[in-house]
Structure 1
Amino acid sequence: MTISKCARNAVAGAIASAALALPAAADVDFSGKTIEWVIPFSETGGSAKWANFFAPLLSEALPGEPTVVVKFMPGAGSTKGANWFQGQEHKDGTLLFGTSGSTQFPYLLSDPRVRYEYNDWNPVMASGTGGVAYLNAEDGAKFDGSANMLQDVDFIYGSQGATRLDLVPLLAWKMLGMNVEPVFGIKGRGDGRLMFERGEATIDYQTTSGYLGGSAALVEEGKAVPMMTWGALDAEGNVVRDPTFPDIPTFKEVCDATDGCDTSGVEWDAWKAFFVAGFPVQKLAFLPAGTPQDIVDAYTSAFLDVVARDDFADLSVKRVGKYKVFTGGSANAALGTATNVPDSAKAYVVNWLKEDYGVELK
C-alpha cells in the first residue's frame, strides 16, 4: 500500500467515524470541581494556545460547568509529562492530558526515553493543525519561491530535539539543501519564537496556533517573512495548500522549485509519512487509563457540543486555524493515524538522525 493510500484511508476512516451516534447520556456531574488539563510543554507554545482555546469552551459544555485550568509540565521535549501521565490512574475525570506531534514522534521512533503507551489512554478529542516556516527579514529578501538563494546561508534554529515534531522542518530544510544548525533543548516552540525575536535564531517554524498567536505579528511588522507551510492532505492523500494559509506555498511547491530537491523517492516518502503522523492529527486530549466509561462519554459529548456551537468555526479559525476536530470514535481512529508510520519511513529517519545528529535509537 502506498503512503498516499495509507494516509487517505486512515484520515478518511477517522472522518467517517465522526458520524457515529452520540454516547448515551450518563449521570455525571462536575459541579464545583476543577479539571486540570496538563500540557507537557511551556506556556508559550502552540499546544498552550490550543488548550487555552478549548478550555473555557469545554468548561461550558461539561455537565456542572467545572473550572478547567491549563497547567504546564515541560521537559525532555514532552516525554517528561507523558511519562508522568502514564502513571496516573485518576478515575473521577478531573485530569486531562494533551499531546502533540512532539510527543507522538518519540513514541513512533522507539525513543528510549519513552515510558508511555498511547493505547492505554482514552482519547476524547483530536485536532489537526498546520505549520509555517519563516525567515528573518534579511534572508527573507532572498526567497523567491525556491531555496536556491538560501543554500549558502548558515541558519540557526531553536529546537526541542530532532526526534520531536521538529523532525518535519529539519528534514524539509535538509531536502532543500539548506544549512540549518539546530540549538537543541528548548522546552516548547514558543521558546524558539522568542529566540528568533531576540535574533538568537534566524529561521523558525510554528504550528498554526503558535503562528497566529505570535509569529503573524512579526510578519506584519516586517521582522519575518513566511517561507512555506507543510500543507494539508486532500481526499486523495495529496499535499495541498493549508486552508488556514492559502496564500503561502507548501514545502512541496518550494521543493519542486528548488534545485536538487525531489518530491518522489524514499526521502520524500519518509518526510510525508511523518508529516501525516504529525499534522493532520497533531494534538490530542486524553483521559487516564482506568477512567470509567460514563466519564469518557461525558467528555465526548462535551467536545461534540463544542464543535457544534454556531460560533465555533469563527472562533477557531482565529485562534487554532481551520482544521478538522475529531471526537468520539473518530478520535480513536485519528489516534491510529498519529501513532503509525511505515517501517521504511521509520528506518530512513532513524538512519538520518544517526548520521546528521548522532542520535541513536534502539
Structure 2
Amino acid sequence: MNSKLFRTFLIGLTVFVLGACSSGRKSLQSGDYDKAVYAAINRLKSNPSKGKALETLKKGYDYALDRHLDRISDIKLTDDAFKWEKIINEYASINSLANAIASCPACLEIIPDAPKYVAEMSDAKYFAAEVRYNKGVKFLATKNRNSAKEAYYNFEKAEQLYPDYKDAQSMMDSAYWAAVIRVRVETVEVNSRIYKLSNEYFQNKINEFLKNYERKSFVRFYTPEEAMMVRVKFDQVLQLNFDDFIVGQTYIKERIEDIKKENVKIGETRDSVKRPVYGTVTGKLTTFDKTITSTGLLDFRIVDLATNKVINQEKMPGTYIWTDYWGAYRGDESALTNEDKTLLARRESRMPAPQDLFIGFTGPIYDQLRQRITTFYNRYN
C-alpha cells in the first residue's frame, strides 16, 4: 500500500472510531441512555481499553437501569388496563442491556453483575395475559359479532403473552366462531358437456382463493358439499352464474397486395461476354389474419339470508382473443422482402380446443372476482 493510500485509510479509520465513540457520549448527554450503552459496548468490542467508552458504559448503564426501574414503579401506580404490557417492555429493555454486556468481556470488568429480571418478566407476562383473558371473557359475553372479534384478539394476545394460559386457545376458537360470517357458495353451472372440465377448473380456482382468504379473516366459505355436511345457520349465499358466453367466434381477414420491385437482375445477355439484365418483377402477396374471440359475462351476487335481499351484485365480463396469421404468394420471388419471406414461411396454426378458449375468457373474470370478493368481505374483518 503506498503512503498516500495508507494516510487516507488512517484518516478514515480515525473518523470512524471518533464517530463511534462520540456517538455514545452524545446519546448519553441527550438522555438516550440505552443507545449510549449499546454504542459503548460496540466500541469496547473493537478496542477494550478505550477509556471514554468505559466511562460512557458505566454512567449510561446506571442511568438506563434507574430510568427503567423508575418507569416500572410509575406504571404500576397507574390505572392503565394494559400497564403490564408496558412493564414487560421495560423489563425486556433491562434484560437486553444485560445480555449485551455479557457478550463483551471488557464490559463485564466494569459491570460484572448486570441484573436480569427474568422472574419479574414472567410474572408481568402472566398478569398481562390475565388482563387480556378477562377482557376477552367480557367481550364474548356481550354476544354480538364485533365484540366477539375483540374477544378473539384479546384471547390471542393472552396466548402470545403467556402460552397455555388457562383455556385461552379454546376461548379464542369460541370467539372466532361467534364472530365468523358463514357463506354458502353455489357452484357455477354450465349446461354443456364440452365445457364441464373447464368449468370445474374455473370453480376450483375460485374455491382455492376462498379457502386462502378465509384463513386470515372472519369469513368462512362453504362449498355445496361442505354445506350439506354441517348443521349451521348460514348468513349469506354467494351466487355465480354465467348470463351468457360465446366460445370460438372466428373471423378471417384476407388482404391482397400487389408487389413490385425494380432494378432486379432477371437474366444475362447472350453475348460472348455475358452481362446482367435488370428489369422489374411483380407478384401478388395474400395475407390472412385469423381471430378467434371468446367472451362471457358472469353474474356475481351476494344474498343476505336473514332478509333474503341481494346486498351486492355485479356483472363481470371476460374476453379472450386468439390470433394467427400466414401468407400465400404468386409471382416472382425476387420481389419479396425478408419480412415477406418470414410471413410465407408460416402455416395456418391449429386453433385451440374449445375447452382452452373457455378457460381463456374466464381468466379476466376470475381476476375481477377475487378483487370484488376481497373488497366486499374485508368489511367483516
Say yes or no: TM over 0.5: no
Q: Whose helix fraction is larger, Structure 1's or Structure 2's?
A: 2
For the aligned pair, the TM-score class normalised by the smaller chain equals: under 0.3
- Name the TM-score, length of structure 2 as normaliser: 0.20
- Name the TM-score, length of structure 1 as normaliser: 0.21
* More RCO (CA 8 Å, sep 6+): 1
Task: Kindly name which structure, 1 or 2, has the bigger radius of gyration based on alpha carbons.
Answer: 2
